[in-house]
A and B are shown apart, each in its own frame.
Chain A
Amino acid sequence: MWDFEFTLEVMPDLLEGLWITVQATVMGYLIALALGLAIAMVRRVPYAGGVVHAVMEFIRTTPLLVQLVFVFLVAPSTVSGMTIGVVVLGVHYSAYTAEVYRSGIEGVAKGQWEAARALSLPARRTWGAIVLPQAIRKVIPALGNYLIAMFKDTPLLFAIGVAELLTQAQRLGAANFRVVEMYTLVGFLFLIVSIPSAILIRRLERRYAAV
């Protein structure tokens, strides 16, 4: 039934795919963290905030896969699939992180804003020294959840030909006629990464919930 020799043989290739998956996740996540924060702040600006909100709403309610394939087909062929994948993943998830930041910012007590104004702090210090440190601390666990969510969305890069885990598995499985082993291994590798990270996030949650 299960071919162990074959399993060992393909492991290096699969791990290479997993490494690309992790890289795509981390880079996309950094974009989502930065862009999400910028969006959450712009959303407080009249008019411009409304337009940005509508655009993000559209991005959030349409499938990531379609967005990926669409951008891949429209972009010039000199841009690599990996770059497109990372950027689209990051922008898609910034629609989610923006909402998380927003809830954190709205959770900051009104008195804090008023105190900053009373001290006539410039906007930069109001955000940088008063509001954001309080807001971000509270939303760290929620942001962490999106890191795991993104990791589980990276197999979609398969659709635009990035050599991530699932792509490798499909190639090797088809070449050796061993699809059961390949897809089961991919499932296991996903669990090996996502279960420990879920435990880590739960720890973070407990640590920051106490504050």
Chain B
Amino acid sequence: MEFLIERLPLYLDGAWVTIQLTIGGSALAFVLAMVFGTLGSMKHWLPRAVATVYVEVFRGIAALVLMFWMAYALPVATGFQLEDRFAAIVALGLNVGAYGAEVVRAAINAVPKAQVEATVALNMSWFQRTRLVVLPQAWAQMLPTFGNLVIELMKATAVAYLIGVADLTAVAQQMRQGTGETIIAFVGALILYYLIAQVLISGMRLLERRANRRLGRTPSGGTGLSALLKYPAVGGGSAGVG
């Protein structure tokens, strides 16, 4: 215990890098998911083909392989060296964004047809329809799966240690090499990862509740603090990033 308390500042530095990677990766993944998910839900074949190619390519390659490519192959191929942390964020964002795009596409397609027909009857433009009618409803549906993806992305950030980013995992390795206390060094890191995940889970729960309230629905899984801490249900195709 004393061992960990003494070295807490170092661990927190590592955790901070992990959080930065998580936030950066999530932000990029979110934008990509929204763009390619919307493209994938369109009627015309061209945007749909673009979305399918993006999803299949970046979902099919492991995040670690993408990261190695960005960190080691890209500089040789283009003479353009990305900063380690930035390369990790881009790789994670591209990978998780592909999973997210499928979620967005499915959620948009799940909005009842009558809703879209009503917007046509009201002579709304495509933008008005998407912004005012389709997205608010699809949003509530995609959030639970987004919650899972954010956790998966946070876990996948550990991989960045292999391309030299000084994240929480790197700190654990450093501790181990410095002191020889393998078990304590790693358990400390695992506990911090667990805590970060719990904060993310609660945050996603709050977002979910707000989205449902705006649609006049009662949140699933009950109300109160205990419901906040529940892990979101695992859906079919939502897992396995990393």
Least CB distance from B155 to A in Å reads 4
Chain B 47-73 interface 0/1 with A at a Cβ cutoff of 8 Å (1 = within): 000000000110111111110110011
**Segment from B33-41, B124-132, B193-201, B211-219 that makes contact with A:** B193-201
Q: A158-B64, A184-B69, A187-B66 are in contact. Are A66 and B240 (CB under 8 A)?
A: no
Q: Which of B159, B190, B236 is A62 in contact with, Cβ under 8 Å? A: B190
Chain B residue at minimum C-beta to C-beta distance from A187: B61
Could you tell me if B233 and A64 are in contact, using CB atoms closer than 8 angstroms?
no
Q: How far is the CA of A60 from the CA of B155 in the complex (A)?
A: 9
Least CB distance from A22 to B in Å reads 14
| Total A residues in contact with B, Cβ cutoff 8 Å | 48
Least CB distance from B20 to A in Å reads 16
Could you tell me if A195 and B56 are in contact, using CB atoms closer than 8 angstroms?
yes
| Total B residues in contact with A, Cβ cutoff 8 Å | 48
Q: A85 — which chain B residues lie within 8 A by C-beta?
A: none
Q: A69 — which chain B residues lie within 8 A by C-beta?
A: 169, 173, 186
Q: B241 — which chain A residues lie within 8 A by C-beta?
A: 149
Which residue among A69, A142, A154 has the maximum number of chain B CB atoms within 10 Å of its CB?
A69
Chain B 134-162 interface 0/1 with A at a Cβ cutoff of 8 Å (1 = within): 00000000000000000100011111011
Chain B residue at minimum C-beta to C-beta distance from A194: B60
Could you tell me if A74 and B182 are in contact, using CB atoms closer than 8 angstroms?
yes
**Segment from A95-103, A111-119, A124-132 that makes contact with B:** A95-103
Could you tell me if A63 and B158 are in contact, using CB atoms closer than 8 angstroms?
yes
Q: Does A121 interact with chain B (Cβ within 8 Å)?
A: no
Q: B157 — which chain A residues lie within 8 A by C-beta?
A: 63
Could you tell me if B194 and A58 are in contact, using CB atoms closer than 8 angstroms?
yes
Chain A residue at minimum C-beta to C-beta distance from B155: A63
Q: How far is the CA of A183 from the CA of B77 in the complex (A)?
A: 11
Q: B59 — which chain A residues lie within 8 A by C-beta?
A: 194, 198
Q: How far is the CA of A60 from the CA of B169 in the complex (A)?
A: 16
Could you tell me if B194 and A66 are in contact, using CB atoms closer than 8 angstroms?
no
Q: How far is the CA of A57 from the CA of B198 in the complex (A)?
A: 10
Q: B121 — which chain A residues lie within 8 A by C-beta?
A: none
Q: A156 — which chain B residues lie within 8 A by C-beta?
A: 64, 159, 242
Q: Does A145 interact with chain B (Cβ within 8 Å)?
A: yes
Could you tell me if A186 and B240 are in contact, using CB atoms closer than 8 angstroms?
no
Q: How far is the CA of A170 from the CA of B60 in the complex (A)?
A: 20
Q: How far is the CA of A42 from the CA of B173 in the complex (A)?
A: 35
Q: Does A166 interact with chain B (Cβ within 8 Å)?
A: yes
Q: How far is the CA of A65 from the CA of B231 in the complex (A)?
A: 21
Could you tell me if B60 and A166 are in contact, using CB atoms closer than 8 angstroms?
no
Chain B residue at minimum C-beta to C-beta distance from A72: B182
Least CB distance from B70 to A in Å reads 9
Q: Does B239 interact with chain A (Cβ within 8 Å)?
A: yes
Interface residues of A in 143-164 (CB under 8 A from B): 145-146, 148-150, 152-156, 158-159
Could you tell me if A191 and B60 are in contact, using CB atoms closer than 8 angstroms?
yes
6 closest A-B pairs by CB:
A149-B240, A63-B158, A61-B197, A194-B60, A70-B186, A99-B234
Q: Give 6 A-B pairs besides A142-B237, A166-B65, A184-B69 with Cβ atoms closer than 8 angstroms.
A: A57-B231, A65-B242, A69-B186, A74-B182, A142-B235, A149-B241
Please give the residue numbers on chain B whose beta carbons come within 8 Å of chain A beta carbons, in ascending order: 56-57, 59-66, 68-69, 72-73, 76-77, 151, 155-159, 161-162, 169, 172-173, 176, 182-183, 186, 189-190, 193-194, 197-198, 201, 231, 233-237, 239-242
